[in-house]
Amino acid sequence: RAYSYQNASGGYKKSVLNYANAGATSLFTTVEDLSLWAMNFNNIKVGDSTIINKMNKPSMLNNGKTFGVALGQFVGTYKGLKEIQHGGADAGYRSYLTRFPDENFAVVVFSNSAEFNSDKIAHQVVDIYLKDKFKKEDKPHEPKKDIAPGVFAVDPNIFKTYVGEFELRPGFIITVSTADNELFVQATGQPKFALNPTSNTAFLVKGVDAKIEFIPNEGKNIKLLKLHQGGQIMEAPRLKEFDKSAVSLSDFSGKFYSEELSTTFHFNVVENKLVASNSRLSDFNLSPVKEDIFNGEAWFFGQVEFIRNSEKIITGFKVSNGRVRNLYFEKIK
């Protein structure tokens, strides 16, 4: 079977997978076998229409609205066609299963390289097979051509009003910077990309199928960034300016225990950085972004919010990421 790898210094090294992750791992299959499961949604052999329809139905929030998530699947549209999809990533494994039920069509993509973009490759296959079925107002999916600087003239002085940090979700920040009369964006843990303007407030991300839009408030100050990508529009509020150099990192050092996870993290200051350590994990840094709030380099420690008592002494912290919110750790030393 294929093992899990990641790029390292021009070569590859094994990316160790924890097979104890129940539900997310330990399914051994092939693209051919998984395609049988994809076909089962339209030609049911396993289960019945009741469970299949339930799996395809978007879940409902407490306010009565749906948000595109069904049972283990995401329901939406791609170029005017109904799409039901879900991707997977753990260690160096990457996978993507997308279905177009009205077209009786599905694509399954697997890889054992961490750098492989399974979502992108799957949709390139979709573009080949379903190009004649896309809605007329939607163009077939083609790699976006970079717009040459100067096609839309923007006063570079405007760029400085966009510079700053925008929080897409806890622990995931889009940093906007400028250099040599160009604007750049860089998301947490990702490379820096140049922006090409299509208007004074809208920009295409060079080399990426995405668009950035800056939204002014009533006072014409930029307080919100919108990321258009993968058929979704995601909002990122602007973070207030924060003097990171004024943070006393030693205040946040200590030993913290989670009763829910039965695990302990040690926070220590090493070479002017707050470093998190755990007996089962590699060390990673924590960086201050707001008062008493840090972002972690590790995805599972997206955002750490420290808690103080009435005497302003730190008593614990709450950690949140894309899948966990406010997981509590108590300071025990």
- d(CA 154, CA 211) in angstroms, rounded, equals 16
pTM (global) more than 0.75:
no
- The answer to whether the beta carbons of residues 211 and 204 sit under 8 Å apart is yes
Mean pLDDT of the chain: 87
pLDDT of residue 21: 62
Q: Cα–Cα distance between 82 and 108 in angstroms, integer?
A: 17
For residues 59 and 75, the answer to whether their CB atoms sit within 8 Å is: no
Model confidence pLDDT, tens digit, residues 117-162: 898 899 999 999 999 999 754 444 444 444 344 456 778 888 989 9
Q: What is the mean pLDDT of residues 67-79?
A: 86
Q: Rounded mean pLDDT of 4-22?
A: 79
Distance CA 17, CA 91 (A): 5
Q: What is the pLDDT of residue 217?
A: 84
Average pLDDT over residues 222-227: 93
- What DSSP letter does each residue of 260-290 carry, written as one string? TTTEEEEEEEETTEEEEEETTEEEEEEEEEE
Region of poorest pLDDT, from 17-26, 239-248, 261-270, 290-299? 17-26
| 8 Å CB contact between 330 and 318 | no
Question: Dihedral, CA atoms, 242, 247, 253, 257, nearest 10 degrees?
Answer: -30
User: Residue 141: its pLDDT value, please?
Assistant: 44
Residue-level pLDDT at 227: 93
Instruction: Give me the pLDDT at residue 138, please.
Output: 43
CA distance 3 to 16: 9
Report pLDDT digits (tens) over 165-192.
998 887 788 999 999 888 999 987 778 8
Instruction: Write the DSSP symbol of residue 115.
Output: T
Alpha-carbon distance of 140 to 252, in angstroms, equals 52
Report whether 30 contacts 112 (CB < 8 A): no
303: which strand partners? 295, 320
